[in-house]
Structure formats: C-alpha cells, structure tokens
Amino acid sequence: MESTATPPRHRPASGQSQPRPDAPPYRVDRLSEERAREGWMEEVLADDRTLYLPLRPGQGALGVESLATDRALQMVERSVLPAGEPTLHVYLGRVEDLSTSPAAGRHVVAIVHPGAVWGQWKDAGHDGGARWAGLRALAPVLEAAEAELLTQATAIAAWHAGHTHCPRCGAPTTVVQSGWVRLCPQDSSQHFPRTDPAIIVSVIDDQDRILLGANARWGGQRYSTLAGFVEPGETLEAAVIREVGEEAGIVVSEPAYVSSQSWPFPASIMLAFTARATQTSVRPDGEEIIALRWFTRAELAAAVRAGDVTPPTPLSVARHLIENWYGSSLPEPQASPATDGAGPPVAGR
C-alpha cells in the first residue's frame, strides 16, 4: 500500500504551517460531546446558518463523491436542499472562524442522497455549476478546513455504507448520535466507526541513505517509502519491523513515530515512522514491491531532476518522510514543465 493523495495530516515535526504551537492541529471542531447529546442534530438542522455538504455514492474503491467547484467544496443552505429524507445526515463540526471557507464559524452537516435525487436537483440548477468529485482529486486543491471536512465526511459516509446491519444478529441498524453511532434495535448493541491503522516508514542505513521501493502498481519510475497494515494484536513498532522484513527482506531497529495522515480509502490512518536498517542487502518481495534502491541525498536529487525517479506527491505523508530525511523540499524534475506544485492525483493501493 502507499500514501500519495493529500488528506489533512498532523505534522508535529514540521512547525512551518502552525503559526501557534498551542493551536489544535485541526480546523473543524467536531464537538464530539455535543453531537452525542439527544436533540443536538435537530438543533443544528434547525439553525439557518448550518451548511450542508452534498454526498453521493460514487464509483471506485472510495465510493463517495462530493460537489465542488475548481478549488472549493460546494456547500449549500437548507433552503435549497432536495425535498425528502436523505439516506444519511452526519454532523461534521463547526469550522474555525479564521477559515477562508464560506463555512467559517458555521456548523456543517454531511448529507447523503442517492445519485438520482442529486441528479434531479442538479438539473433544476441548485448546484451552482459544481461537479462531483472524490477526495483524492479534491484534497490537493482545497483550503485546509474544507479538506478536513471532506476527509471526515468521506470516511464516515463510507463506513455507514458498509455497516448497515448488526454484526451480532444481522438486523438493520439505525443511526444515532448525530451520525456517529449505529444502534441495533434487536439487541441494543452500539456500533462505532472504525479506522484501520497502517504504518509507513522511511528506512535509513548507517551511511544515512534512504530505502525507497517501486510498487508493482505504479509503473516502475515512482519510488516511495514502504507501508503496510497493522495486524490485530500487533504494536505499531512491530508492524514496522514486520512490513520492512516482508517487503525488503531486512531487519530494522529503533522505529520512531514521526506524524500521521488520515487515509480514508476507505478507512485507514497512515502512521509515519522512521527506522534504522541493520543490513543493506535488500530483496524486494516481487509481488507488491518490484524494485528497491538505496539513495544518498545527491543520488535522489539527481534521479528526481533527471526524471528517472518520480517521488510521492508533495502533500503526502510519504513525501513528508522523504523530505524530513532529505532536509528540504525535493528538487523539481528539469525535463517537465513547471506545475502548480499540487501534482496530479495518483491511484493508490
């Protein structure tokens, strides 16, 4: 697996994008105590200032799409919503006042309707010219609070879509607590949204070189850090050691946490680590990883400039790990024309 798209990331190691060290690393306050309260959702739905984020079941692995213009989410007020009960309402939170989004200082609710309902609504001209798109395409261009809203909405909507029935008795469950819990009417069991942890790791050797791998799905030139899912009953550190062993055939030590990135494709969080290689004779697993290379900083810079190696997209946690080791931003490839820095969305795992 890999991490190349750009949902919001907690970056304790960077500091550059945090004007205040005591500021929370989020722009949307989920108000998790309030949203669990009886009647909270009704109050929010009755508030004229509440904005709604339209969602529909989409194509592909992610399965959720939202409306957006070129660089912003298309959130709408209650007065223009489609008539009739939606498939789902989820309370996302209150956006910070300083945001440049129209949602600044307002509650935002994700609202899911079938595609056909939104289609008629769009045909009636309520969409402001926005188009349907997924998180992977939108995250690189959205303002930070809107990227957070969409990441959260995508993850929770995908969970609901895949968890409509009670895992104990099979009865259809109902949505409670503003969209954050499902309740079984038969046995009263409560079911909470899940997030699957995955580790991603920069492996460094005793010559201060970094190990990068080419995944079978990426086409050969794109190199990134190794990654994989944490298994039940396993610590994050053990997962780092096991994954590097499986994918590269070497033993690493001193796994150390760096930062995290939400990765709702459909339900993961990427936990970034760095680790020391105790050997350098690597062997790609041949299935997921087809090639492995050790790079000095000069070698990686030269390979990227020449276009021989394509690094992960600039806002990904994989790129963050590589640039943490490199010491600054990676150079741009010299052969290709300049881009706006966001880069194209790239297919993930």
Of the candidates 30, 163, 136, 24, the one whose C-alpha atom is nearest the C-alpha of residue 90 is 30
* Residues between 287 and 306 with contacts to Zn ion, criterion CB under 5 A: none
Contacting residue, 1, 166, 270, 277, with Zn ion by CB under 5 A:
166
Q: How far is the CB of 89 from Zn ion (least distance, A)?
A: 22
In the complex, least distance from residue 167 CB atom to Zn ion, rounded to whole angstroms: 8
Strands of the chain, DSSP E: 9-10, 28-29, 51-57, 64-68, 76-77, 88-95, 107-112, 131-133, 174-176, 181-183, 190-191, 196-204, 210-215, 223-224, 226-229, 252-263, 268-277, 289-295
Say which residues have a Cβ less than 8 Å from residue 346's Cβ, sequence separation at least 6.
4, 5, 218, 222, 313
User: Which lies closer to Zn ion via its Cβ, residue 35 or residue 182?
Assistant: 182
Q: What angle do CA 246, 247, 253 make, to 5 degrees?
A: 70
Name which of residues 169 to 188 contact Zn ion (CB under 5 A): 169, 171, 184, 186-187
Q: Which is nearer to Zn ion, 71 or 168 (CB)?
A: 168
Q: Which of residues 65-124 bind Zn ion (CB under 5 A)?
A: none
Q: Give the other-Cβ count within 10 Å of 41's Cβ.
A: 20
Angle at the Cα of 175 from the Cα atoms of 74 and 106, rounded to 5 degrees: 35
Only segment of 52-60, 71-79, 163-171, 257-265 that touches Zn ion (CB under 5 A): 163-171
The answer for 316, left when phi > 0, alpha when psi is -120 to 50, beta otherwise, is beta
Q: Which stretch binds Zn ion (CB under 5 A): 11-19, 149-157, 159-167, 235-243?
A: 159-167
CB closer to Zn ion, 173 vs 259: 173
Residue 120 vs 186, nearer CB to Zn ion: 186
- The Cα–Cα gap between 330 and 297 comes to 9
- Yes or no: say if 252 and 277 are a contact pair by the CB < 8 Å rule: yes
Q: Considering only 164-172, 253-261, 284-292, 320-328, which stretch makes contact with Zn ion by CB under 5 A?
A: 164-172
- In the window 187-206, what residues touch Zn ion (CB under 5 A)? 187
Task: Lay out the site mask for Zn ion across 118-157 (x = CB under 5 A, - = otherwise).
Answer: ----------------------------------------
Site for Zn ion, residues 29 to 48, rule: CB under 5 A: none
Closest distance between Zn ion and the C-beta of residue 91, in Å?
Answer: 24
* DSSP designation for 319: H
CB 184 to Zn ion: min, Å? 3
Closer residue to Zn ion in complex, CB, 174/221:
174
> Which of 37, 49, 71, 168 contacts Zn ion by CB under 5 A?
168
Q: Return d(Cα 120, Cα 55) in angstroms, integer.
A: 14
Q: Which is nearer to Zn ion, 101 or 173 (CB)?
A: 173
From CA 102, how far away is CA 26, in angstroms rounded?
Answer: 17
Which residue, 60 or 167, is less far from Zn ion as judged by CB? 167
Q: Which of 349, 208, 199 is nearest to 289 (CA)?
A: 349
C-beta of residue 129 within 8 angstroms of C-beta of residue 39: no
Q: Which is nearer to Zn ion, 24 or 185 (CB)?
A: 185
Interacting residues with Zn ion (CB under 5 A): 166, 168-169, 171, 184, 186-187
